């Protein structure tokens, strides 16, 4: 939805909401009040109409008294009666004899001056009506309403003492609801009597003004009209008639019409105003904004931040245009800076002494430098956007690099630097050390390649050389050991033989270190657990422990030591085991234990026997070569030595790895 449609929608919704608000306000503030006003009018009119009926009954009674005075004997005929009532409201006259039989009963039509006999319609009614014919007092004249099938009469009864006896004069006037309603000034209303005690006609009900003046009034508000209901009572206070006044919703209907016209005028005026506002917005804002948008799209499609927008007017849109121009100027400057920076880093990338590549998430190279051309023997044209890093690796190296790439894609932390075998255009395999990093805010990966083929070859040659040295040293020491062994065969002196054997064991302990290094994968360290086990086996053979009951128990942690540490530690073990085997067990029966482990960065060597032991003073003052070697080796290891001769002899040494010192 564009801005024009949104503006039209907002204006339409605004007019609709205002209309609804006005409708609600009018309903709550005006319509309800007008309804109350109509109900009050109906209430007042019902009371006024009751009063009017009672007033007309009173006037009828007065006219009847005057009529009786003009003819006290009630000897009426049509001619004389026409003269008497022509100027009165009386239109019905009945005379009853002393036996209440009808002597005269006519209805006078004033329009043409004619009389109509009504004896039959009222005959049955008069014969059963005691209230009109048997007045108990001459001062009381019964008044009421007579309902015939076709007409309603207000009537009054007057008892007359005539020469022919007591007669009854009954006069009546038709109930003209239109004339009565003239009092209200509303010809659209209607007025009806409804008997409460009988549905048979004719029906008479006496009305007593004293009971009817203050009768309650009920209001019924229907959809079509408002109804005011009251009652008329007789002398005994009984409710005889319902009087109903029905008034149409004149005020409400007029109000609705007026309000409808007003709302129509409001909607039309608001719509015209909205059209004017929309036209103004369209011409002054939307059209300019559309032009501005089209110009920005053109600049965007051209990818040309050097373009500028024309500034029109001096308002918010012109401020927006100025801001866009400033932004374009900033973009132009930034692009120039970025362009220079790219050129700078591209030069660095191309002219660095290390082969480098950049590839995207698909693995294809987007950029390679000159050194990579030398490494791969492909040209840039052949590589960029055509070849992938996977074209230069095979086998386990390729699978390893794929796994690292997947980990890098899922934000894991694979190794940044690792080596692999690189295959160039001719199929030559080169060892390369690669450093891999992801370029920030992109999915591109930067890799640098260092050809370490020559370095690896040199290291292999060095390793072979070192192994050969250890092998030759071991062989030379083996020759020395063999010479000592041969020499011992020609020595008969026991002391000299013992010295030669100890020297031979010392040489063998050193030779075994070089043999372990020669056979080790890592030429710098020796597996010391295997070394001690082999050394103990060699000493057992040398001293013939298999022919004795001397047992050696070993608890050795699987550790590796450098040659600088392994040689003095091996000599320590040789000297102490030799002393224990020679002097601790005169009966050639006992146990020796060896423990070697590491804790808190220190190596711990414990050697213990349960032999006869030596005094601590004797050990400290001993001048033998073995004891001198033990002290000398402790100094070489910078070890802490503890001795315990309370139960056999126990040595404990605590030391760290000897740091390599460059030899001149």
Question: Domain with 154 in it: what CATH number?
Answer: 3.30.450
Same domain, 547 and 635: yes
Task: Find the DSSP H helices in 453-493.
Answer: 453-488
Residue 656 within any structural domain of the chain: yes
Nearest Cα neighbor of 108 from 87, 88, 92, 84 is 92
Q: Give me Rg for the CA atoms of the chain.
A: 69
pLDDT at 38: 80
31: in domain: no
How far is the C-alpha of 472 from the C-alpha of 517, rounded, in Å?
12
Q: Is 450 helix (H, G, I), strand (E, B) or coil?
A: strand
Look at residue 373 in the predicted model and tell me its pLDDT.
92
Tell whether 392 and 405 lie within a shared domain.
yes
Residue 2 domain flag: no
Does the residue 304 lie in any domain?
A: no
Do 239 and 366 have their domain in common?
A: no
List, in sequence order, the alpha helices (H) in 93-188.
119-127, 130-133, 177-182
Gap between the terminal Cα atoms of the chain: 87
198 and 159 inside one domain? yes
**Planar angle of CA 161, 162, 164, nearest 5 degrees:** 125
Helix (H) or strand (E) holding 108: strand 102-109
What pLDDT, on a 0 to 100 scale, did the predictor assign at position 664? 43
Whichever domain contains 410, its CATH number is: 3.30.450.20
Q: What is the DSSP letter of 659?
A: P
Q: What is the pLDDT of residues 343-352, one digit of tens each?
A: 888 888 888 8
- 321 domain residue, yes or no: no
Residue-wise pLDDT tens digits, 508-566: 777 776 666 556 666 567 788 888 888 888 888 777 777 677 888 999 999 888 878 88
The residues of the chain scoring below 50 in pLDDT are: 136, 663-664
**Same domain as 495, residue 428:** no
DSSP 485-544: HHHHTT---HHHHHHHHHHHHHHHHHHHHHHHHHHSSSTTEEEHHHHHHHHHHHHHHHHT
State the CB neighbour count (10 A cutoff) for residue 321.
20
Q: Measured between alpha carbons, how far is residue 188 from residues 45, 440, 658 in Å?
A: 13, 90, 128
The verdict on 556 and 643 lying in the same domain is yes
The answer to whether 571 and 509 have CB atoms below 8 angstroms apart is: yes
The predicted structure's pLDDT at residue 86: 80
Looking at 523, 551, 569, the residue that finishes a domain is 523
Domain co-membership, 136 together with 221: yes
Q: What is the pLDDT of residue 187?
A: 66
Q: Cα torsion at 79, 81, 83, 85 (round to 10°)?
A: -150
Together in a domain, 582 and 462: no
What would the pLDDT profile of 586-637 be if each residue is shown by its tens digit?
A: 888 889 999 999 999 899 999 999 888 765 555 555 557 778 888 888 988 8
Q: How many domains does the chain contain in total?
A: 4
CA 323 to chain centroid? 35
Q: Is the domain of 625 the same as that of 643?
A: yes
Query: Domain check: are 197 and 242 in the same one?
Result: yes
pLDDT at residue 619 in the model: 52
Question: Does some domain include residue 551?
Answer: yes
Residue 518 confidence (pLDDT):
53
Q: What is the DSSP letter of 364?
A: B
Predicted pLDDT at 584: 82
Q: Establish if 109 belongs to a structural domain.
A: yes
Q: Which domain holds residue 507?
A: 452-523
| Same domain membership, residue 68 and residue 199 | yes
Least Cα distance to 373 among 296, 425, 413 occurs for: 425
Evaluate whether residue 318 is within a structural domain: no
Among candidate residues 523, 544, 572, the one where a domain is terminated: 523
Same domain as 549, residue 512? no
Domain end position, chosen among 402, 428, 451? 451
């Amino acid at each position: 939805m564009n801005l024009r449609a949104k503006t039209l929608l907002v204006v339409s919704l605004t007019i609709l909401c205002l209309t609804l608000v006005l409708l609600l306000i009018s309903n709550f503030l005006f319509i309800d009040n007008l309804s109350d006003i109509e109900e009050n009018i109906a209430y007042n009119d019902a009371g006024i109409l009751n009063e009017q009926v009672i007033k007309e009954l009173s006037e009828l009674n007065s006219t009847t008294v005057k009529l009786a005075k003009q003819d006290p004997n009630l000897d009426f005929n049509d001619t004389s009666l026409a003269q008497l009532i022509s100027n009165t409201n009386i239109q019905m006259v009945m005379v009853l004899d002393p036996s209440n039989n009808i002597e005269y009963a006519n209805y006078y039509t004033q329009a043409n001056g004619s009389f109509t006999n009504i004896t039959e319609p009222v005959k049955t009614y008069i014969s059963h009506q005691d209230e009109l014919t048997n007045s108990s007092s001459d001062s009381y004249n019964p008044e009421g309403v007579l309902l015939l099938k076709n007409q309603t009469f207000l009537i009054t009864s007057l008892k007359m003492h005539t020469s022919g006896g007591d007669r009854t004069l009954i006069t009546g006037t038709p109930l003209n609801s239109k004339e009565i309603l003239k009092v209200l000034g509303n010809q659209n209303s209607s007025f009806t009597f409804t008997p409460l005690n009988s549905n048979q006609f004719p029906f008479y009900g006496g009305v007593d003004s004293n009971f009817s003046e203050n009768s309650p009034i009920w209001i019924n508000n229907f959809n079509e009209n408002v109804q005011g209901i009251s009652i008329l009572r007789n002398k005994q206070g009984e409710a005889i008639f319902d009087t109903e006044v029905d008034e149409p919703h004149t005020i409400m209907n007029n109000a609705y019409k007026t309000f409808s016209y007003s709302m129509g005028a409001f909607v039309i005026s608001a719509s015209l105003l909205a059209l004017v506002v929309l036209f103004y917005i369209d011409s002054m804002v939307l059209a300019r904004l559309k032009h501005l948008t089209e110009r920005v799209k053109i600049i965007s499609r051209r990818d040309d931040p050097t373009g500028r927008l024309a500034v029109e007017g001096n308002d918010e849109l012109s401020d927006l245009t100025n801001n866009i121009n400033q932004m374009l100027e900033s973009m132009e400057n930034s692009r120039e800076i970025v362009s220079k920076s790219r050129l700078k880093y591209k030069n660095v990338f191309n002219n660095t002494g290390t082969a480098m590549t950049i590839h995207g998430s698909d693995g294809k190279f987007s950029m390679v430098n000159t050194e990579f051309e030398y490494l791969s023997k492909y040209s840039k044209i052949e590589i960029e956007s055509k070849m992938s890093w996977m074209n230069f690796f095979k086998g386990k190296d390729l699978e390893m690099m794929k796994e690292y790439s997947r980990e890098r894609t899922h934000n894991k932390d694979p190794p940044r630097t690792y080596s692999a075998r690189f295959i160039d255009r001719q199929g030559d395999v080169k060892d390369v050390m690669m450093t891999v990093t992801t370029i920030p805010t992109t999915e591109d990966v930067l890799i640098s390649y260092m050809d370490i083929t020559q370095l690896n070859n040199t290291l292999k040659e060095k390793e072979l050389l070192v192994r050969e040295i250890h092998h030759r040293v071991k062989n030379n020491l083996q020759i020395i050991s063999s010479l000592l062994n041969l020499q011992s065969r020609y020595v008969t002196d026991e002391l000299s033989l013992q010295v030669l054997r100890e020297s031979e064991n010392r040489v063998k302990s050193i030779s075994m270190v070089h043999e372990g290094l020669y056979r080790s994968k890592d030429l710098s360290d020796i597996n010391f657990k295997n070394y001690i086990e082999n050394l103990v086996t060699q000493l057992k053979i040398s001293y013939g422990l298999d022919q004795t009951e001397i047992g050696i128990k070993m608890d050795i942690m699987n550790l590796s030591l450098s040659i600088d540490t392994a040689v003095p530690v091996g000599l320590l073990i040789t000297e102490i085991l030799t002393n224990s085997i020679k002097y601790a067990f005169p009966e050639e029966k006992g146990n020796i234990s060896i423990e070697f482990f590491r804790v808190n960065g220190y190596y711990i060597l414990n050697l213990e026997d349960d032999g006869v032991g030596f005094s601590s003073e004797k050990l400290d003052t001993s001048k033998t070569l073995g004891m001198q070697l033990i002290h000398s080796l402790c100094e070489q290891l910078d070890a802490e030595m503890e001795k315990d001769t309370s139960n056999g002899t126990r040595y404990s040494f605590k030391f760290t790895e000897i740091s390599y010192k460059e030899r001149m």
